[in-house]
Amino acid sequence: MPMLAWFHSLDLQLLYLINQTWSGPHLDPVMAYVSDWDSWRIPVTVTAVLALIFGGFRARLFLVLMAACLIIGDGMIDWGFKLAIHRPRPNETEPHLRVVTVKGVTESVPKTVRKGRSFTSGHACNNVALAMIGCAIFGRWALFLWPWAALVSYSRIYTASHYPSDILGSWIVAIVYAYFICRGASWLWRRYAPQKCPELYARHPLLFPLWESPSFARMGPVDGLS
């Protein structure tokens, strides 16, 4: 189809532009470490444990919702797309790309890939969900998470791990599932919290006060459960 061919051509042009033209030795280590989950595993784990132990209601709510995003979004939806689409990564099938890792820079060598994992990007999905959940709970104090999500997403193209279209699709997917996870959590809270934990519900009637309308706030608990 002409439209698909044009879109793929545009995808490749942007990929090579970011990976080669807009690259440099000063950016390589930055993008490599931003893109490398192993470099962040310990700091993220320590931060999560400290938030769980010493954080308040909203910090713990953030951890619970992020866990839901990782289980539902990353573990089910993201991997569902990967297994259904099987799109190879650009560093597996495109020639002369700079494959950037924390160990250095090599050149891509095209090969035959039967089960690719390029769409969706777990890095992009998880960090977009992080920004969505963070802003839903903490408001403007979490706005910095959006530039971080954009940087991580950009680094995945820069390192030749994903096509630009993978990242665009991943943002859409993550925004959608993070939104519905928030809506589902809000519904469950209003339905069951008045019975199960009335004192906590009295202090926090709304999980997302900045997102939920004043009219919604005045509704209180679900009828019959107050």
With beta carbons less than 8 A apart as the criterion, state whether 127 and 138 touch.
no
Strands 98-101 and 104-107, bridge-based pairing: antiparallel
Query: The pTM is what?
Result: 0.91
Q: Does residue 94 form part of some domain?
A: yes
Q: Does residue 161 form part of some domain?
A: yes
With beta carbons less than 8 A apart as the criterion, state whether 38 and 196 touch.
no
Residue 124 has pLDDT above 90, yes or no: yes
Residue 136 has pLDDT above 80, yes or no: yes
The predicted-structure confidence for 174-209, as pLDDT tens digits, reads as follows 999 999 999 999 999 999 999 999 999 999 999 998
Query: Which pair of structure tokens corresponds to residue 16?
Result: 């090579």
Query: Which pair of structure tokens corresponds to residue 179?
Result: 């939104």
Q: Does residue 13 form part of some domain?
A: no
- Rounded to whole angstroms, the Cα distance separating 39 from 149 reads 16
- Number of structural domains in the chain: 1
Structural domain for 167, as ranges: 18-175
Q: Does residue 87 form part of some domain?
A: yes
